Amino acid sequence: MKFISTILAGMFMLALVSCHSEHEHKEVEKQFLVTSPILLDTNITRDYVCQIRAISHIELRALDRGYLQDIFVDEGQFVKKGKLMFQIMPLKYRAEFQKAQAEASYAEIEYENTKMLADSNVISSRQLALVKAKWEKAKAELSVTEVELGFTEIHAPFDGIMDRFQVRMGSLLEEGELLSTLSDNSQMWVYFNVPEAEYLDYMSEINKDSIMQVKLLMANNKFFPYNGHVEAIEADFNNETGNIAFRATFPNPDRLLRHGETGTVIISDKLNDALIIPQKTTFEILDKIFVFVIDENNIVKSREIKIAAELPHLFVVESGLKETDIILLEGLRKVRNNDKIVVEFQKPESVMANLDLYAE
């Protein structure tokens, strides 16, 4: 009987220890990290995929039919305005020009002689007018042949960079045939699409004297050393995407940017005293964003919040929270509304130190 009592006592002790251990384990599970929102001055950045274009990018085409006699530039070469780039064989046009030049000289001499006779009343003024008209016609024909001769020489209309040649020396060119393209990349036009809501925000905040400054992140993930500014907005929205195109102008003194490149436009807005929380403290239900707020009795209450902006790992809160609120930092999936928990408070400064925070 004593032996049985000893066994029963041992079993009771084991059960008691087990219950105590299980209770202690539950208490450990009920400890959750919490924190508070923090007020900071920060920058909101928005990025847009963009297309980079030269301010002038033109096609160079043959103005008339003929053989390409000479090429005076090279692909990729920087050329100055007025530089002779292509020469189409000018023999026919030069001969016609010389013929017209001779006819104009002859008509001028004839007019001067006739005028002397008219001044001496040898011939009538009507005869002088006919000779003068003939001279005027010869001068007009000379101008035409001079223009046609000019068609055989293609000069650079502005400073720019030559593109790839589409023809080679000796090619028989047809009228209007593409020779190459020329790009003026002293300044660059950068186009990017802005959603309708952001366009409306921009238009409601900007005034006639303000200029939107933007940065350019190049394809190598480095920032272009010069800032640009928005100069133009297209007239119409794209009905398929709901976007409208903005155009920013960037100086390009080092000629680093070329026509046809891509990149990312970065726009930054300064926010003073922004209420910031980590993104991981939030959860979504039917496109609405919530946090778990812990009241003075350590009871969990879900609360809907409005987000003003998004930063890396962070949200800027528009409404629904204040700086003194306590919010659940970790274990969002382990609690439910109205649960009572044991909390461990972590200062928001310490929490933010472990996040990628872009703030001043």
> Average pLDDT, stretch 304-311?
89
Residue 245 falls within a domain, yes or no? yes
pLDDT of amino acid 353: 82
Q: Please check the confidence at residue 11 and state whether its pLDDT lies above 70.
A: no
Say yes or no: 333 and 241 in one domain.
yes
Residue 25 falls within a domain, yes or no? no
Q: In terms of DSSP H, where are the helices of the chain?
A: 2-29, 91-119, 125-150, 196-205, 348-353
Question: Which of 357, 351, 360 lies closest to 281 in space, CA to CA?
Answer: 351
Residue appearing with tokens 């952001």: 198
Residue 343 falls within a domain, yes or no? yes
Q: Please check the confidence at residue 24 and state whether its pLDDT lies above 70.
A: no
> Average pLDDT, stretch 212-217?
93
Say yes or no: 200 and 108 in one domain.
no
- The answer to which of 24-38, 108-122, 213-227 has the lowest mean pLDDT is 24-38
**pLDDT confidence band for 73 (50 / 70 / 90):** very high
Most confident residue range from 20-29, 235-244, 305-314, 346-355:
235-244
User: Measured between alpha carbons, how far is 108 from 112 in angstroms, rounded to an integer?
Assistant: 6
**pLDDT confidence band for 209 (50 / 70 / 90):** low
Q: Please check the confidence at residue 182 and state whether its pLDDT lies above 90.
A: yes
Q: How far is CA 324 from CA 297, 319, 330, 348, 350, in A?
A: 15, 14, 18, 11, 16
Say yes or no: 51 and 98 in one domain.
no
Q: Please check the confidence at residue 90 and state whether its pLDDT lies above 60.
A: yes
pLDDT of amino acid 111: 83
Say yes or no: 360 and 230 in one domain.
yes
pLDDT of amino acid 298: 92
User: Residues 235-265, buried b or exposed e (16+ Cβ, 10 A)?
Assistant: eebeeeeebbbbbbbbebeeeebbbebebbb
- Helix, strand, coil abundance in the chain, percent, nearest 5: 30, 40, 30
Q: Please check the confidence at residue 8 and state whether its pLDDT lies above 70.
A: no
Out of 134, 151, 168, a domain closes at 151
Which of the pair, 254 or 63, is modelled with greater confidence?
A: 254
Question: Which of 340, 291, 331 lies closest to 36 in space, CA to CA?
Answer: 291
User: Measured between alpha carbons, how far is 314 from 354 in angstroms, rounded to an integer?
Assistant: 12
Residue 17 falls within a domain, yes or no? no
* Percent of the chain clearing pLDDT 70 (strictly above): 89
pLDDT of amino acid 100: 79
Say yes or no: 106 and 217 in one domain.
no
Q: Please check the confidence at residue 12 and state whether its pLDDT lies above 50.
A: no
> Average pLDDT, stretch 166-186?
92
Residue 134 falls within a domain, yes or no? yes
What would the two tokens of residue 264 be? 């990312």
Across all residues in the chain, what is the average pLDDT? Answer: 85
**pLDDT confidence band for 151 (50 / 70 / 90):** confident
Q: Can you say how many angstroms the Cα of residue 249 is from the centroid of all Cα atoms in its chain?
A: 10
* CATH number of residue 123's parent domain: 1.10.287.470
Q: Please check the confidence at residue 17 and state whether its pLDDT lies above 70.
A: no
The pairs formed by 241-244 with CB atoms below 8 angstroms and a separation of 24 or more are 241/193, 242/195, 242/196, 243/193, 243/194, 243/195, 243/196, 244/193, 244/194, 244/196, 244/199
Residues 182 and 161 sit within 8 Å (Cβ to Cβ): yes
Say yes or no: 38 and 104 in one domain.
no
pLDDT of amino acid 22: 47
pLDDT of amino acid 244: 95
Say yes or no: 112 and 250 in one domain.
no
Say yes or no: 132 and 225 in one domain.
no
Specify the 3-state DSSP secondary structure of 21.
helix
Residue 146 falls within a domain, yes or no? yes
In degrees, to the nearest 5, what angle opens at C-alpha 259 toward C-alphas 255 and 262?
105
> Average pLDDT, stretch 288-314?
92
Which helix (H) or strand (E) segment is 334 a member of?
A: none
pLDDT of amino acid 321: 95
pLDDT of amino acid 341: 92
Say yes or no: 124 and 188 in one domain.
no
* CATH number of residue 206's parent domain: 2.40.30.170
Q: Please check the confidence at residue 63 and state whether its pLDDT lies above 90.
A: no
> Average pLDDT, stretch 141-145?
80
Say yes or no: 213 and 297 in one domain.
yes
Say yes or no: 290 and 351 in one domain.
yes
pLDDT of amino acid 28: 42
**pLDDT confidence band for 308 (50 / 70 / 90):** confident
pLDDT of amino acid 91: 66
**pLDDT confidence band for 129 (50 / 70 / 90):** confident
User: Measured between alpha carbons, how far is 56 from 75 in angstroms, rounded to an integer?
Assistant: 17
Residues 216 and 265 sit within 8 Å (Cβ to Cβ): yes
Q: Please check the confidence at residue 23 and state whether its pLDDT lies above 60.
A: no
Q: Which residues are 301's β-sheet partners?
A: 293
Q: Please check the confidence at residue 342 and state whether its pLDDT lies above 50.
A: yes
Specify the 3-state DSSP secondary structure of 319.
strand
Domain count, the chain: 2
Say yes or no: 292 and 352 in one domain.
yes
Query: Residue 119 belongs to what domain range?
Result: 90-151
pTM over 0.75: no
